[in-house]
Amino acid sequence: FSVFARPSTVPHGAGYELLIQKFLSLYGDQLDMHRKFVVQLFAEEWSQYIDLPKGFLVSERCKVRLVPLQIQITTLGNLTPSSTVFFCCDMQERFRPAIKYFGDIISVGQRLLQGARILGIPVIVTEQYPKGLGSTVQEIDLTGVKLVLPKTKFSMVLPEVEAALADIPGVRSVVLFGVETHVCIQQTALELVGRGVEVHIVADATSSRSMMDRMFALERLARTGIIVTTSEAILLQLVADKDHPKFKEIQNIIKASAPESGLLSKV
């Protein structure tokens, strides 16, 4: 962030924690605070920046910087029940007449929730302004879900959701579905990825009022490394083996193929 560089002061003897506080007071509104950082000191003898030495204290004028750590990794998309959470977004009654192929995505969403119950996967459900838009549709069985939360924010990443994720050990992946693809689904996915969570969007369980909005949202999300997949692929990946003790139950869910609705030609 050299373009933001400016002279500033800290008390004599300030160490790492005070430097971090100073950086946040100056630049906190411009940084993604969910990233990891390292503080570096400009070393005159090397003519380059080095990681801040252990026990460093400011005793004279010096040049320090805050560097974001970026690790480029290939998104593999592996799923295991123990590290996965399902997010069901705003599948509400008032959306029924407006969302394209809403009946189809309800059907597929219900399959996913059945699979989550069988495999013991936590499910978090949100409802966008339920006072005005109604509750989750009756066809979606919410038995055993971890949370059902009202919201006005488009993203599902509410403080209560973050707290719930923190309470589930080892969460690595979120399987996300619901409406609308280009609004709440997209904003939820981007926020989760920004927090280091791998996101799988279920294409046959998400839609919008406009198929153009849906199509371009899925294309954009796929380009960011988010995995766009299908309900059957998700459920079979989670059991992984025909000898899995729950395979037969999952097989019963997918025995009849998911609806091949107009969503298919518009992805």
Question: Does the bond joining 180 to the residue before it have cis omega, within 30 degrees of 0?
Answer: yes
Q: Which domains are seen in the chain, by residue range?
A: 11-71 (no CATH), 81-254 (3.40.50.850)
Torsional class of 156: left (φ above 0), alpha (ψ -120 to 50), beta (otherwise) = alpha
Q: What is the 3-state secondary structure (H, E, C) of 93-107?
A: HHHCCCCCCHHHHHH
pTM over 0.75: no
- Please list the pLDDT of the chain residue by residue as tens digits (267 residues): 556 678 889 999 998 888 888 888 887 766 665 567 788 999 888 889 899 888 899 999 999 988 877 655 555 788 999 999 999 999 999 999 999 999 999 999 999 999 999 999 999 999 999 999 999 999 999 999 999 999 999 999 999 999 999 888 889 999 999 999 999 999 999 999 988 899 999 999 999 999 999 999 999 999 988 999 999 999 999 999 999 999 999 999 999 888 877 787 644
Is 100 annotated in the active site? no
Structure tokens at 169: 């050990």
CA angle 107, 109, 115 (to 5 degrees): 110
Catalytic residue among 88, 104, 151, 204: 151
Q: Which of 22, 89, 104, 184 is catalytic?
A: 184
Task: Decide if 88 is catalytic.
Answer: no
Choose, from 90, 100, 104, 204, the residue flagged as catalytic. Answer: 90
Q: Is 248 a catalytic residue?
A: no
- Residue 201: strand pairing partners: 176, 228
